[in-house]
């Protein structure tokens, strides 16, 4: 009996391996590339002299702007770069279909194989696929050239580098995809070719539809079998559906399977990000000729005006951050390691939702959000300005975003535009048209557009399901405290509106510190104290948290990032509104404010640890603690004048008298049998004015 079981297992394993050999093969195509800056004429590309000299060996992901776009204002290379690779395709691949799938090339691309143009693409942030088999010489060396160009163009969004820099190059991975002549379509906007929709989701049941797009590259009809199978999180078969079909060569054809799952386990955000798996197999004569695996997270999203955001019928806190993808010294050419690091910080702070701004981001990142339970806002880079020439490309990029990201359960909304205004009529019409496209491609998700003016009847508003508004009270307008009256006015005048606060905050240069703060700061000043950012977030989050009318809020930004056209706060080419520095080495005070308010992990944190040189002898001490009232000691003496601040984790110790010279502050809390301690040092040398000192030093020496 035991031998029989072993034999059956062996036969099953061999069958699976044999089937897999005939299924889709996806391999990394990231090594062996050379790079050089251009431009060169088409004739020069065929010539030997200058074209063949000066190539630099690189590994993809790669960008040519990792340094220059981050250090000097408007001094970066914006133009053409070339990538070249020599590759021999095995004779065994004859009769197969070959595709190169690029996850991201900034920003316009042309792909050549052995001198023949095999594909083009406009847009830095979405994937695209080129079928190359007809131009490949099997068993011989082939030359593959990718021409990339990140020059701002009026017909490609974003149309400028104003809000963020569009890094040039092949900055995301490249894959070689090999399939049989009949396949699950590869080049449907570089999507998986499988589209999973869900209806009537509850803990009692859920209806699931799996649509598969198929393609036949032969010249005759082919009898095939399409099998769609749902597996649970442990790999156990839940349900399967098989259908026989005759696939004709006349274009892409769609076939669907319908399922009803009883008592499903739901995808419940960070609380329980449970995933099923959908496996779509295309079979011919009993063998698998293609296979695609996609995630299935069963969930129901509801944004209810005036009441809040609901996940599977349960009110869900939308504690949101925004994220730009670039890193100091790396630009946008990131590996999964950098994406994982960023997600770890977002999880650590206790965020439940992320706005990935202002463009489509890494597929790996979206997949990780599926498994982590983060609820995602995905958007296209229709930002800042219109030219009147971007209509077609904006639609193209939205279609690509939706099709490529369709099956990620973490995505709840498609972002259409951010702070795009004049001309109002054109912008409104384009926004409405993209909204209509979203509903045609994916009627089950929300759409959102974002305005910075703060009133619902602005001419470009109300063309999407959700109205986002960016408000920087105390920074770009009015005072920090004006956020409260604004929310109350909006709720009174527009109670029907689904409103989200989609950006708020203030810049913070960690080298700028002061305890002398007002309720507004002139953002054109060279002085960007971290303490003002902290004050802004302390007050404004406390207001946001009390108003369910704000369905979700997204602080700007999780990390500092490059803005190559900007020179503010004594830091060229930088937006410093992040809770962490651009190099990800320092967490600003605001980081711990949100972690204390949002996270379930213990937090005890003394603020202003970088504001070491104190301006006032009598000052105050701020502590964030989500584990109880802290005891604070100054030079060994306990401080007793404590009061609660804006939220339950906010503790303030007033009328603290510093000693001349060094002062040691120590905060202590005992919680669940463990003692937590935080300690910082301050120095007092007499009264001073930090901003005046800074400006005088800046004028004399040009740096701080």
What mean pLDDT is predicted for residues 103-131?
Answer: 97
The H or E element that residue 393 is part of is: helix 391-405
pLDDT, one tens digit per residue, over 486-524 is 999 999 999 999 999 999 999 999 999 999 999 999 888
Supply the pLDDT for residue 266.
Answer: 98
User: How far is it, in rounded angstroms, from Cα 370 to Cα 609?
Assistant: 36
Percent of the chain exceeding pLDDT 90 equals 91
Where does the pLDDT of residue 690 fall: very low under 50, low under 70, confident under 90, or very high at 90 and above?
low
Is it true that domain 190-296 has CATH number 3.40.50.1950? no
Q: For residues 220 and 450, what is the distance between their CA atoms, to the nearest angstrom? A: 50
φ and ψ of 361, to 5 deg: -110, -175
User: Which band of pLDDT confidence, cut at 50, 70 and 90, is reported for residue 14?
Assistant: very low
Which has the higher per-residue pLDDT, 193 or 688?
193
Give me the pLDDT at residue 17, please: 40
Mean pLDDT of 441-452: 97
Residue of 508, 504, 596 lying closest to 543 (CA atoms): 504
Q: What is the mean pLDDT of residues 404-411?
A: 98
Q: Do 190-296 and 613-701 have matching folds?
A: yes
Whole-angstrom Cα distance, residue 306 to residue 549?
4
Q: What does the alpha-carbon distance between residue 487 and residue 394 come to, in Å, rounded to a whole number?
A: 31
Q: Where are the alpha helices (DSSP H) in 224-308?
A: none
Per-residue pLDDT of 196-248, as tens digits, reads: 999 999 999 999 999 999 999 999 999 999 999 999 999 999 999 999 999 99
Q: Which residue has the tokens 């993209």?
A: 434
Domain edges within the chain:
25-181, 190-296, 319-595, 613-701
**b (16+ CB within 10 A) / e for 300-332:** bbbbeeeebbebbeeebbbbbbbbbbbbbebbb
* pLDDT tens column, 182-191: 999 999 999 9
What are the residue numbers of the active site? 419
Q: Which CATH class is domain 613-701?
A: mainly beta
Collapsed DSSP state (helix, strand, coil) of residue 402 = helix
pLDDT at 268 over 90: yes
Q: Report helix, strand and coil shares of the chain as percent, to nearest 5.
A: 20, 40, 40
Three-state secondary-structure class, residue 321: strand
| pLDDT value of position 51 | 82
Confidence of residue 45 (pLDDT cuts 50, 70, 90): low
Mean pLDDT of the chain: 94
Neighbours of 279 (CB within 10 A): 17
Burial class for 286, CB neighbours closer than 10 Å (0-12, 13-18, 19+): exposed
Q: How far apart are alpha carbons 61 and 362 in whole angstroms?
A: 12
DSSP string, 30-74: -SSEEEEE----HHHHH-STGGGS--EEE-SS--TTTTGGGTSTT
Higher pLDDT, 701 or 124: 124
302-324 per-position pLDDT tens digit: 999 999 999 999 999 999 999 99
Place of tokens 């005891």: 631
Q: Roughly what angle, to the nearest 10 degrees, separates helices 391-405 and 363-372?
A: 40
* CA R_g for the chain: 28
Q: Is the pLDDT assigned to residue 15 strictly greater than 60?
A: no
CATH, range 25-181? 2.60.120.260
Does residue 703 carry a pLDDT above 70? no
Q: How far apart are alpha carbons 170 and 205 in whole angstroms? A: 44
pLDDT surpassing 90 at residue 383: yes
* 3-class state of residue 370 by DSSP: helix
Residue 144 has pLDDT above 70, yes or no: yes
- Token pair, residue 675, equals 């003692």
Region 620-648: mean pLDDT is 97
What's the half-sphere exposure (Cβ side, CA atoms, 13 Å) at 102?
Answer: 32
Give the dihedral of Cα atoms 575, 576, 579, 580; nearest 10 deg: 90
| pLDDT at 52 (0 to 100) | 86
Buried b (16+ CB within 10 A) or exposed e, 30-46: beebebbeeebeeeeee
pLDDT tens track for 63-108: 999 999 999 998 999 999 999 999 999 999 999 999 999 999 999 9
Taking each helix axis from N to C end, the angle separating 336-349 and 363-372, rounded to the nearest 10 degrees, works out to 40
Confidence of residue 698 (pLDDT cuts 50, 70, 90): very low
Asked whether the predicted pLDDT for residue 415 surpasses 50, the reply is yes
The domain defined by 319-595 carries CATH number 3.20.20.80: yes
The pTM score is 0.94
> Look-up: residue for tokens 């069958």?
15
Mean pLDDT of 396-409: 98
Tens-place pLDDT, residues 525-575: 899 999 999 999 999 999 999 999 999 999 999 999 999 999 999 999 999
CA distance 246 to 98: 23
Dihedral of alpha carbons 567, 615, 607, 483, sign? negative
Residue 410 has pLDDT above 80, yes or no: yes
The pLDDT of residue 497 is: 95
Helix axes 336-349, 589-598, angle to 10 degrees: 60
**Both tokens assigned to 525:** 């000043």
Token pair recorded at residue 482: 């004006």
């Amino acid at each position: 009996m035991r031998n029989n079981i072993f034999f059956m297992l062996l036969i099953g394993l061999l069958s699976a391996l044999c089937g897999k050999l005939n299924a889709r093969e996806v391999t990394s195509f990231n090594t062996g590339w050379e790079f050089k800056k251009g431009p060169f004429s088409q004739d020069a590309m065929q010539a030997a002299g200058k074209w063949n000299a000066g190539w630099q060996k690189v590994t993809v992901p790669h960008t040519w702007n990792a340094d220059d776009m981050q250090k000097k204002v408007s001094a970066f290379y914006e133009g053409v770069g070339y990538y070249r690779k020599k590759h021999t395709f095995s004779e065994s691949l004859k009769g197969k279909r070959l595709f190169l799938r690029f996850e991201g090339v900034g920003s316009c691309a042309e792909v050549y194989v052995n001198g023949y143009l095999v594909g083009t693409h406009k847009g830095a942030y979405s994937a695209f696929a080129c079928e190359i088999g007809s131009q490949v010489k099997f068993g011989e060396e082939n030359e593959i050239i990718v021409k990339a160009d990140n020059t701002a163009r009026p017909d490609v969004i974003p149309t400028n580098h104003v809000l963020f820099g569009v890094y040039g190059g092949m900055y995301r991975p490249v894959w070689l995809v090999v399939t049989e002549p009949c396949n699950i379509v590869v080049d449907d906007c570089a999507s998986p070719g499988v589209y999973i929709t869900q209806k009537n989701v509850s803990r009692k049941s859920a209806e699931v539809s799996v649509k598969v797009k198929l393609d036949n590259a032969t010249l005759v009809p082919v009898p095939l079998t399409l099998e769609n199978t749902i597996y649970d999180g442990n790999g156990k078969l839940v349900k399967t559906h098989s259908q026989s079909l005759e696939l004709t060569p006349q274009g892409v054809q769609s076939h669907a399977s319908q399922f009803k799952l009883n008592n499903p386990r739901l995808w419940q955000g960070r609380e329980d990000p449970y995933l099923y798996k959908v496996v779509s197999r295309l079979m011919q004569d009993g063998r698998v000729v293609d296979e695609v695996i996609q995630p299935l997270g069963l969930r129901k999203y509801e944004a209810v005006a005036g009441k809040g955001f609901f996940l599977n019928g349960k009110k869900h806190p939308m504690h949101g951050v925004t994220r730009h993808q670039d890193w100091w010294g790396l630009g946008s050419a990131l590996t999964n390691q950098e994406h994982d690091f960023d997600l770890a910080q977002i999880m650590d702070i206790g965020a439940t939702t992320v706005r990935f701004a202002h463009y489509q981001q890494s597929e790996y990142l979206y997949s990780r959000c599926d498994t982590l339970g983060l609820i995602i806002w995905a958007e296209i880079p229709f930002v800042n300005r219109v030219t009147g020439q971007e209509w077609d490309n904006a639609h193209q990029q939205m279609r690509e975003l939706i099709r490529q990201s369709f099956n990620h359960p973490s995505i709840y909304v498609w972002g259409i535009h951010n702070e795009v205004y004049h001309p109002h009529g054109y912008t409104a019409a384009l926004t409405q048209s993209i909204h209509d496209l979203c509903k045609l491609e994916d009627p089950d998700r929300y759409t959102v557009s974002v305005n910075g003016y703060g009133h619902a009847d602005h001419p470009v508003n109300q063309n999407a399901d959700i109205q986002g508004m960016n408000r920087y009270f105390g920074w770009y307008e009015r005072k920090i405290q004006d956020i409260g009256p604004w929310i109350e006015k909006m709720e009174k005048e527009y109670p029907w509106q689904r409103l989200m606060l989609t950006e708020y905050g203030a810049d913070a240069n960690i080298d700028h510190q002061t305890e002398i703060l007002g309720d507004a700061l002139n953002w054109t000043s060279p002085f960007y104290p971290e303490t003002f950012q902290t004050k802004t977030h302390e007050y404004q989050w406390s207001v946001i948290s009390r108003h369910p009318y704000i369905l979700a809020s997204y602080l700007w930004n999780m990390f500092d990032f490059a803005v190559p056209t900007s020179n503010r706060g004594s830091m060229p080419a930088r937006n410093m509104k992040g809770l962490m520095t651009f190099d990800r080495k320092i967490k600003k005070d605001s980081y711990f404010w949100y972690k204390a308010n949002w996270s379930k992990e213990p937090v005890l944190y003394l603020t202003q640890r970088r504001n070491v040189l104190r301006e006032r002898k009598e000052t105050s001490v701020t502590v964030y603690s989500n584990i109880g009232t802290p005891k604070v000691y100054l030079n060994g003496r306990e401080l007793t004048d404590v009061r609660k601040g804006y939220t339950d984790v906010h503790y303030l110790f007033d009328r603290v008298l510093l000693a001349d010279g060094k002062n040691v502050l120590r905060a202590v809390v005992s919680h669940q049998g463990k003692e937590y301690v935080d300690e910082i040092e301050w120095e007092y040398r007499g009264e001073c004015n930090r901003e005046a000192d800074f400006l005088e030093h800046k004028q004399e020496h040009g740096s701080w």
